[in-house]
Amino acid sequence: MNQLAIRQMKRFRNEVTRFMMIYKFALDEMETKIEILQEEFQFLHEYNPIEHTKSRLKSPESILNKLHRKKCEISFESIREHIKDIAGLRITCSFLSDIYTIRDMLKKQTDLRILEEKDYIQNPKPNGYQSLHLLIEVPVFMSDRIEKVCIEVQIRTIAMDFWASLEHKIFYKYNQAVPASLLGELKEAADAAAALDRKMERLHKEIEKLKEEQPELTELNRIIINNQEFALPPALLELLDSGNEKD
C-alpha cells in the first residue's frame, strides 16, 4: 500500500471515529441528565422511578447494512438523515406511570427536542411488544461547532423489558423463523406481563395513598443528599415552630 493510500485510510478512520464519538457524547449527555433527574426525584419524592438504564451504539458495519437495506447513498450526511437509532438509550422503570413521568421530565428539558414519539403501550405491536419510543435531538458542544444529534430513547417497565429480552433471544435462536404456535404463546406472555404491570400500578397507587395519610414525622427531621444523611439543626426546627405559632 503506497503512502497516499495510507494517508487516505487514516483520514477516513479519523472521520469515522469522530462521527461515532459525537453519538457517544450525546449518550453521555443524556445519561447525565437522567442521573440528575433520578437524584432530584429521589430527594423530592423519596422514590426512584428508574430501575436502571442501558445505552448502546450501533457498529459501523450495522449502520452500513441498514443503509444498504434502505437503498440510501453512503455518506455521513445520508447516515444522519436516514438512520435515527445509531445511539440508543433504554430506561427501565418500576411502574407504568413512571414511563410517562420520565417522558414529561425530558420534554421539559429546554435544550432537548422531541422529534418523534411512538407509544407502543397504548398501541402495542401485533406480537405484544410494549414500550414508549422517543427520538430526541441532543446538542453536543464540540471544540469547533455544535452538533445536533438524534438518539432513540426507549422507556419501559421491568415486565416489558423482561418479555422483550426473552422474545429477542427466541427469535435469534430460531433465526427469525419462529413457529406459529410459539408466536401465539409469546403474545399470551406479553398480555400476562401487561396485566401484571396494571396490577402493580394499582398496588403502587394504593400504597402511596396510605403513605400520604400516615406521614412519618421522623423523616421530616433529616435530609439525604448523595446517600449522605444530614439531621436538621434543632435551632432551625425551633424557628419553624415559632413561625407556625405566629400563623
> pLDDT 10s digit of each residue in the chain, 247 long?
677 767 777 877 888 888 999 999 999 999 999 999 888 888 887 788 899 999 999 998 999 899 889 999 888 899 999 999 999 999 999 999 999 999 999 999 999 999 999 999 999 999 899 999 999 999 999 888 899 999 999 999 999 999 999 888 887 766 667 777 788 888 999 999 999 999 999 998 898 888 777 655 455 566 666 666 666 666 655 666 665 555 5
With H, G, I as helix, E, B as strand and everything else as coil, classify residue 88: strand
Q: Would you call 152 a catalytic residue per the annotation?
A: yes
Q: Tell me the sheet residues that pair with 52.
A: 92
Pick the catalytic residue: 152, 185, 229, 245?
Answer: 152
Hey, where are the domains in the chain?
7-158
At residue 171's C-alpha, the angle toward residues 165 and 176, to 5°, is 150
Q: How far is CA 178 from CA 129, 131, 174, 193, in A?
A: 16, 22, 6, 20
What residues contact 33, with CB distance under 8 A and at least 6 apart?
Answer: 106, 109, 112
Q: Where are the alpha helices (DSSP H) in the chain?
A: 3-45, 60-69, 76-82, 96-107, 158-173, 180-213, 234-246
Whole-structure pTM value: 0.80
* Contact (CB, 8 A) for 86 and 57: yes
The CATH number of the domain covering residues in 7-158: 3.30.460.10
* Contact (CB, 8 A) for 34 and 51: no
Q: Tell me the sheet residues that pair with 116.
A: 135
Longest dimension (CA), the chain: 87
Q: How many CB atoms lie within 10 A of CB 88?
A: 18
Q: Give the whole-angstrom CA distance, residue 171 versus residue 178.
A: 6
